[in-house]
């Protein structure tokens, strides 16, 4: 009996084990953290999905699952979907109260006050009537953004400065700027 016949099955098994080990290491340390996690295909609890419409300088953004909408028009923005208990419009059929946000020169946005603007349904209809397609992307939130602070509106319609796992309008705008959408 020669050595080739004796060790050939063992060598084949060792080659298979080494191939499986290399494949596991590639998936675990390269493909998962560099490809799958940033695309929110795994570990998606720190991901947000954004739907948006873009038309020139106008961008309408839906933050999922937070459920509020941000309409950016040049350096002025409006935040839809927040409860504004004390703020009412004279004609609630034609207007909706929203928080008006403005751009600072240092790329941060701040809340000015509230304003009565066309309802979200009309704004959406305007984009759809112009055949502007809805675009979507998922974004893996950096850990600093999960603990960010900023002006947000809580469920009672009050301005608060600290947030947990919710994004501020500033955070959303920063994300869109990093994607060169704004």
Residue-level pLDDT, tens digit, the chain, 182 residues: 677 777 888 889 999 999 999 999 999 999 998 888 888 888 777 777 888 998 888 888 888 766 778 888 877 788 887 666 566 788 877 888 888 777 665 555 566 677 888 888 888 888 888 888 889 888 877 766 555 444 455 554 444 433 344 667 777 877 888 888 87
Which structure tokens are listed for 72? 């950016």
pLDDT at 104: 61
Rounded to whole angstroms, the Cα distance separating 103 from 16 reads: 59
pLDDT at 27: 94
pLDDT at 97: 81
The sign of the dihedral angle between the CA atoms of 179, 80, 98, 160 is negative
Rounded to whole angstroms, the Cα distance separating 97 from 82 reads: 9
pLDDT at 163: 37
pTM attached to this predicted model: 0.67
Secondary structure class of 21 (helix, strand, coil): helix
Rounded to whole angstroms, the Cα distance separating 68 from 121 reads: 13
Could you tell me the end-to-end alpha-carbon distance of the chain, in angstroms, rounded to an integer? Answer: 74
CB 174 within 8 A of CB 82: no
Tell me the Cα Rg of the chain. 25
């Amino acid at each position: 009996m020669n050595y080739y016949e004796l060790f050939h099955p063992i060598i084949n098994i060792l080659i298979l084990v080494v191939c499986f080990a290399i494949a596991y290491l590639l998936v675990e340390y390269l493909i998962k953290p560099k490809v799958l996690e940033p695309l929110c295909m795994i570990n998606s609890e720190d991901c947000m999905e954004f739907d948006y419409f873009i038309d020139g300088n106008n961008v309408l953004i839906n933050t999922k699952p937070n459920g509020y909408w941000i309409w950016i028009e040049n350096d002025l923005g409006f935040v839809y979907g927040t409860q504004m208990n004390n703020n009412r419009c004279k004609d609630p059929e034609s207007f909706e109260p929203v928080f008006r946000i403005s751009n600072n020169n240092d790329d941060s946005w701040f809340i000015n006050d509230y304003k009565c603007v066309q309802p979200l349904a009309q704004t959406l209809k305007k984009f759809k009537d112009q055949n502007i397609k809805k675009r979507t992307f998922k974004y893996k939130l950096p850990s600093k953004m999960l603990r960010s602070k900023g002006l947000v509106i809580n469920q009672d319609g009050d301005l608060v400065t600290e947030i947990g796992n919710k994004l501020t309008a500033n955070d959303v705008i920063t994300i869109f700027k990093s994607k060169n959408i704004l």
